[in-house]
Amino acid sequence: MDALISPWLDAKGQAAFYRQIAQADQAYTDEIQGLYPHLDLPVLVTWGRNDSWIPVDRAHRLAELIPGAQLKLIDEAGHLVQLDQPVQLATTLHGWLTAQATMS
């Protein structure tokens, strides 16, 4: 976690962080959201059940918009699932990818 935080600790890093947050605009997501129902490929949405940055209801909505999408909530994980629960995430992805390979 220190490696993720350290670039943002000094004054220059904090200014860059705030610029990055200010540029995060829902309009970018809204712009492509209408394309989700047209996706024709397997999709697995993984999400930290305890994500306080982007609420878990967004995961449900995303999975509902994509035909055939599967949703897997990762317990005891927040926004950085890969750091909070790397083994559970890797196991989930491996199982899903293996299942996709047998369907092809």
Residue 85 has pLDDT above 90, yes or no: yes
- How far apart are the C-alpha atoms of 36 and 64, rounded to whole Å? 9
Mean pLDDT, rounded, for 57-85: 97
Which distant-in-sequence residues (6+ apart) come within 8 Å of 92 by Cβ? 44, 46, 72, 74
pLDDT per residue over 11-67, tens digit each? 887 787 777 777 776 777 788 899 999 999 999 999 999 999 999 999 999 999 999
Residue 1's pLDDT is: 63
**What are the sequence ranges of the domains in the chain?**
1-33, 37-104
> Which amino acid, residue 96?
W
Phi and psi torsions of 82, nearest 5°: -65, -20
